[in-house]
A and B are shown apart, each in its own frame.
Chain A
Amino acid sequence: AQKVTQAQTEISVVEKEDVTLDCVYETRDTTYYLFWYKQPPSGELVFLIRRNSFDEQNEISGRYSWNFQKSTSSFNFTITASQVVDSAVYFCALSLPYQGGSEKLVFGKGTKLTVNP
């Protein structure tokens, strides 16, 4: 069975601080996909990134960066120079491939990030 653990329930930072959200996953499959989603107070889940299990390259997108390490089964997310608009709940998720597409998403419990001005 697949499992995603986000140990940090809530994080509070001051604007312009860097913050890292941790994600540890469990699966016996060798091919899988990892995701990060953002859920602002409005409730809609916003897709941030997808990572394939066979691609361990780290990725940077503006102030966002992701560190994927298969050796530790982790897929951590760092926001550099945080802003108040980054305040949201962030979910890490795992899915398996199925017939050329994607199986269900297994979500972590989420980390609530509050960025104070």
Chain B
Amino acid sequence: EAGVTQSPTHLIKTRGQQATLRCSPISGHTSVYWYQQALGLGLQFLLWYDEGEERNRGNFPPRFSGRQFPNYSSELNVNALELEDSALYLCASSSRHHKVYEQYFGPGTRLTVT
């Protein structure tokens, strides 16, 4: 069974640009979570999508947004990039329909803002 996949692996952008990160969940999983792992700040929850709807968001500005598609894949968009947005962005998926509470993570996208 394929795990969570993320693309691209690395992304380099300049300040003010927009970044789009993609995530495909494990087959059968309907929930997708996004986390940011910035140096010195640990792993912070960004967004949670379930069956196409945003269920919760963390303490991040509105320029962090996303969506979930009918096939449950997800996109994270970061507008007006700032230097401090440089981080590893991790996507996770889980399946509440099977009462599986674990979140399984992808390899991450490393975003560098210069």
Contacts and interface: CB of A to CB of B under 8 A. Distances in A.
Interface of A: 33, 35, 37, 42-47, 50, 91, 95, 97-110
A45 B99 contact: no
A43 B107 contact: yes
Contacts of B23: none
Nearest to B94: A102
30 contacts: A35-B102, A42-B107, A43-B108, A44-B105, A44-B106, A44-B108, A45-B90, A45-B92, A45-B105, A91-B43, A95-B103, A98-B96, A100-B97, A101-B31, A101-B50, A101-B94, A101-B95, A101-B101, A102-B94, A102-B96, A102-B101, A103-B56, A104-B33, A104-B45, A105-B35, A105-B92, A106-B45, A107-B42, A107-B44, A110-B43
B104 interface: yes
Contacts, number: 68
B72 interface: no
Given A102-B94, A102-B96, A104-B56, A33 B101 contact: yes
A98 B55 contact: yes
Interface in B10-50: 31, 33, 35, 42-45, 48, 50
Contacts of A100: 96-97, 99
A107 B42 CA distance: 8
Q: Chain B contact residues: over half helix, strand or loop, or mixed?
A: strand
Interface in B76-91: 88, 90
A39 B108 CA distance: 11
Nearest to A97: B101
B26 to A, nearest CB: 12
Nearest to A44: B107
A44 B48 CA distance: 19
Nearest to A33: B101
